[in-house]
Structure 1
Amino acid sequence: MNNNPEMISVIIPAKDEEGAIGQVVEGVRQHLPEAEVIVVDDGSTDRTAELAREAGAKVVQHPHALGNGAAIKRGARSAEGDILVFLDGDGQHDPADIPRLLERMQAGYDMVVGARAGAKSHANSARLAANGAYNIVASIVTGHTIPDLTSGFRVARAQLFKKFLYLLPNGFSYPTTITMAFMRSGYSVDFVAIDARKREGKSHIRPIRDGLRFLVIIFKIATLYAPLKLFLPASLVFFCTGLAYYGYTFFTQARFTNMSLLLFSAAVIVFLIGLVSEQITALNYASADKK
C-alpha cells in the first residue's frame, strides 16, 4: 500500500480487453485503494467498459478507436491526481509493482518507468530485438542509459506530464515521446526492472505496419531530443564524400566536377536544416516550460 499523501490517479488505456480489464482494475484497487482509477475505453466492441465499471473504475469512452496515445491523453486530462500511474489493460503489467515505482519516485524523480527485464517480458524475439535497437539509439542520443524506451508502465508527476500532451502522438509511440520530452527538458527519469506477463487476448500491434512505423520512431527520437545529433553526422557524410570525390577528380582529371559541388551543397543544406530543427525543438520545450 502506498503512504504518499499526494492524490494518485491510475490511467488504463484499453481496447477490447474484456478478458483482463476486470482483474487489472481489481489489482490496482487492491494495492492502491484510495487512488482514482480511470479506464479509457478506446472504441471497444466488447464488454470492456462494462467490466471496468463493475470492478470500480471510472470509465471514459471513445466512440471509435483513436489510438493508444489518444487514450493516454484523454485519461491524463480527466485525471485529478497529483501523480499519474499508467499501465496497460491487457494484464501484462502487475499492479503489485506500482508501489515500487511510487517508492522510487519519492527519491526525487519526476518520472519512473517500469523497464521490462529479460526475454520473457517481451512478446517475441522480434519485439525484443526492435526494442533493443530503440534503447541503443535513445541511449546514444541522450547520453543516458535507457533500458526500456517503449514501456507503457510508468508513474509521473501530473503537472509535468500534462505539459507535454500536445507533443504526444495518438498511436503506440507515446512512451518514446514522453520519455524523451522529460529528458530533453531536464526532468529526472529513472527505470525500475519489472517482469511483464503474457498479455490476455490478441495484440493490437500489427508486425508489418507497426514495424515500419516504429522504424520511423528511431529517427523521431533524434529529432525530438537533439536534431543536430542526426543532421550533423549526415552533413559530415555528404561533405567527406564530396571531398573524397573532389580529390579523385582533381588527381585524375585536374578539375572540380558538378557532383562535388552537389555533395558540398547537400552538406551545407543538411547542416542548416539541422540548425533550424534545433531551434524549433528548443522553442517547443520552452513553450512547454511556460505552461
Structure 2
Amino acid sequence: MPGSRWSGRALVVVPAWNEEVCVGDTVREIFAAVRGVDVVVVDDGSTDRTAQRARGAGADVIELPYNLGVGGAMRAGFRYGVRHGYDAVVQVDADGQHDPAEIQTLLDALTDADVVIGARFADPDDPYRVRGPRRWAMVVMARVLSRLARTRLTDTTSGFRAARGPAMELFARNYPVEYLGDTIESLVIAVRSGFRVTQVPVSMRPRRGGRPSQSPLKALVYLLRANLALMLALMRKWSGVGSYVDEKALN
C-alpha cells in the first residue's frame, strides 16, 4: 500500500573510479543514515586507494581489473546482490552528491514499484539546476520515457536509483554498459520488460572532492550523444527481454 515502509534486505552499491578522496566518507555516511543495509563498493579499475579507503570504512569491495564504466560496475553490483540474496539494490555515487538520508525514501517507494529514480528536478524548491544543451537533452529524454513508462518522469539520467526483486535479476543479466546505458537504456529495458518505474524527489549536494568537467563544447557533445543513446535504446532488441515479468510468473 502507498506509504508503506520497506522491510526487506537492501544492498547499497557504490560504483567508484579513483574516488579515494570521497568514498570513505560516503560509505560511513550511508551506514550512519540507514540501519540494516549492507554496502559494496565496486572499484572500477581505480589506480588510487579507492578500494583501501572503502574497506577501511566498512564496505565490502569488488575490484574490477580495468575500468568498465558505471554500467559495468553496476552490473557487477547487481550480480553480487542477486548472488547474496538481497531483495533490493540501491545505487549511490561515491562522490557524496547523493544524500544517504534519502536512501530510505527510495526503498520505501519500492513497495509500489520495481524501479525507483531519485529525481533531482521533481521538487520546484530544490536549487539544483542544469542549463543549456545538457538540460535540453534531459527534457527530451524525460518526455519520451514518460510516455513509454506511462508515468511522469523528470530526471531519467539520475544515478541515484533503486531496483528490487525480478528487476534486479534482469539487470544482473542485461544491465547496459555503453555511455548513458546505465541510465537511459536501463529504463527502456525495465519498461519493456513490464516493470513499474516511478520517481521520488531528492536533493543534490556538491561533490566532496574533485571537479566535474564542464564546458559549452562538452555540453553540446552530451546533447548529441544523449539523443543518439536514446534512439539506439528504443531501436535495440535484447535477448530474453520483453516478457520477463510473465516468464517469472510462470516459473
The residue number in structure 2 matching 1:203 is 212
Within 5 A, what are the aligned runs for 1:2-151?
4-79=6-81, 80=84, 81-106=86-111, 108-117=112-121, 120-122=127-129, 125-151=132-158
CA apart distance, 1:211: 4.5
Unaligned runs of 5+ in 2: none
Go from structure 1 to structure 2 and tell me whether the alpha carbon gap of 1:25 and 1:58 turns closer, same or farther (over 3 Å shift).
same
Please tell me whether residue 160 in structure 1 is matched to residue 172 in structure 2. Answer: no
Go from structure 1 to structure 2 and tell me whether the alpha carbon gap of 1:164 and 1:103 turns closer, same or farther (over 3 Å shift).
closer
Structure 1 CA distance, aligned partners of 2:189 and 2:158? 15
Structure 2 CA distance, aligned partners of 1:195 and 1:92? 9
Structure 2 CA distance, aligned partners of 1:185 and 1:150? 19
Q: 2:110·2:164 contact (CA, 8 Å) conserved in 1?
A: no
Q: Answer with 1 or 2: which has the greater Rg.
A: 1
Structure 2 CA distance, aligned partners of 1:101 and 1:180? 19
Structure 2 CA distance, aligned partners of 1:48 and 1:36? 18
Higher RCO (Cα < 8 Å, 6 or more apart): 2
Q: 1:38·1:58 contact (CA, 8 Å) conserved in 2?
A: yes
Higher helix proportion: 1
Q: Decide which of 198, 202, 206 is 1:194's aligned counterpart.
A: 202
Aligned-pair RMSD on alpha carbons?
A: 2.7
TM-score by length of 2: 0.81
The residue number in structure 2 matching 1:265 is none
Provide, for residues 79-135 of structure 1, a one-character-per-residue CA deviation record: whole Å limited to 9, x for no partner. Answer: 2211111111111100000111122223x2222210012684356544323212211
Q: 2:188·2:234 contact (CA, 8 Å) conserved in 1?
A: no
Task: Give SS of 1:91's match.
Answer: coil
TM-score by length of 1: 0.71
Opposite residue 97 of structure 2, the aligned amino acid is Q
Go from structure 1 to structure 2 and tell me whether the alpha carbon gap of 1:207 and 1:127 turns closer, same or farther (over 3 Å shift).
closer
Go from structure 1 to structure 2 and tell me whether the alpha carbon gap of 1:21 and 1:47 turns closer, same or farther (over 3 Å shift).
same
Structure 2 CA distance, aligned partners of 1:14 and 1:123? 23
Task: Give SS of 1:285's match.
Answer: coil
**More deviation in 36-45 or 129-138?**
129-138
Q: What is the aligned-residue identity percentage?
A: 32
Please tell me whether residue 286 in structure 1 is matched to residue 243 in structure 2. Answer: yes
